[in-house]
Chain A
């Protein structure tokens, strides 16, 4: 065993539920409607939820896995997984040691962070110039 997160958490009584699953799914539903109508981006911090053991995994199952998975490497790994609901992304950020540092759901066409950033393009230009 390397880490506390390696200990499997088994839900032995599915009746013990915080009721948050339902409210998150509702929140996602309304956010997705807004994305379609007004292009509004919405993010939900999964860490701020009072989950019972296993509830977050249940949400992951409900949302399922979609067509696109993007891996980013910036100060540790990040995974942007499209869920089976188009426009709903499951995002996990890790640090260099591989610990999860944040988990989010983003409702957007493509997660913002994936786009090349102005500052990075500028420094890329500088570096390219030196190679001309």
Chain B
């Protein structure tokens, strides 16, 4: 099927070159690219055709779709209607049952080898009957749909790493998309839910450049997940000085000190919350006074209490941070450094969650099951 380019479509709607450049400016910012890339984005969009997108929702809470439909920059309506052709999304579309499945089959047929598949939710393997759509098991639908897709985007921690359904004791035998789709270009966009503009930013990147952005070892786009929450946290100057809130209502908390001792998982968590923020950029968890839960990391549900600190040594924090600065090491590395040094100590005390509990190797995912 020959689809219009975005530029052709905008021109048809009477959008001027200035309007197009403005759209490209917003999109460049959304994709977390520097403003100097605007002309490259414009150039790419002049020839980019609107791909067909099939969105599959499996074992999930609809939080990821909720997050997506609340992204506003550019509006999701703009993104869906101007930029992509969302041919199947059973939560958002009006049709259901057989009629909806027909739309999916038609999109797959007409755009064979060219369509994009977005998945939210994990896939139960213990009994495929645990989760079905129009009588089709999740695993069968996933395999059938991705067979002729150009790429797959796993949205949310459930699709990316198994998420909540996968948490011990993993009653449904939930697995991630990557466990079942080893042979397709795959982008993981984790988060519980992911930051809305990260979802749209990743989609926009693929649609603009027709390629997968650079990924880290957990399959996440580096532009959004390249830095830890801690590395971009505005409270970091307090962490560096060793000033920590000890309870949620003490003087330190009121003064906006670091939340590390209240369980903040920022140092081990790679996500864009600290810059892109939430609710139309109003605030984000740490700014609202609560530590990061680590929701964009595999197994964050099983990493011990959200309120237990990652293992910290007594007293030596500021000093170690100082050493790291002097040695040119990123602050985010300090926690790792200290955790290594004091692991034995922490284990003996059983008082804290260790880095190893948290940054679990993805291949060990099934241990708790």
Contacts and interface: CB of A to CB of B under 8 A. Distances in A.
A and B associate: yes
B23 interface: yes
A74 B287 CA distance: 34
B276 A47 contact: yes
B15 A50 contact: no
A13 B275 contact: no
A1 interface: no
A129 to B, nearest CB: 18
Interface in B59-75: 72-75
| Most chain A beta-carbon neighbours within 10 Å: one of B29, B75, B237, B287 | B29
B187 to A, nearest CB: 21
Interface size class for chain A? 35 or more
A52 B287 contact: yes
B278 to A, nearest CB: 10
Interface string A51-75: 1110000000000000000001011
A120 to B, nearest CB: 5
B135 interface: no
A37 B32 CA distance: 29
B274 A120 contact: no
B22 A93 contact: yes
Nearest to A44: B35
Nearest to A18: B234
Given A75-B15, A101-B26, A49 B275 contact: yes
A50 B232 contact: yes
A128 interface: no
Contacts of A23: none
A26 interface: no
A97 B235 CA distance: 34
A104 interface: yes
Nearest to B33: A45
Given A16-B255, A97-B75, A117-B16, A43 B36 contact: yes
A25 to B, nearest CB: 17
A10 interface: no
A17 B237 CA distance: 8
A99 B17 contact: no
Contacts of A47: 29, 275-276, 281
A48 interface: yes
Which 4 residue pairs are nearest across A and B when measured between Cβ atoms?
Answer: A43-B35, A117-B17, A74-B19, A18-B234
Given A74-B16, A99-B280, 17 more contacts: A4-B280, A7-B282, A16-B235, A16-B256, A50-B232, A50-B233, A72-B22, A74-B15, A74-B19, A76-B22, A78-B22, A93-B25, A101-B73, A102-B25, A102-B29, A113-B21, A117-B16
24 contacts: A3-B280, A4-B282, A15-B255, A16-B235, A16-B255, A17-B234, A17-B237, A43-B36, A48-B275, A50-B274, A52-B234, A72-B18, A74-B16, A74-B18, A75-B19, A78-B22, A93-B25, A95-B75, A95-B78, A97-B75, A102-B29, A104-B35, A117-B17, A120-B16
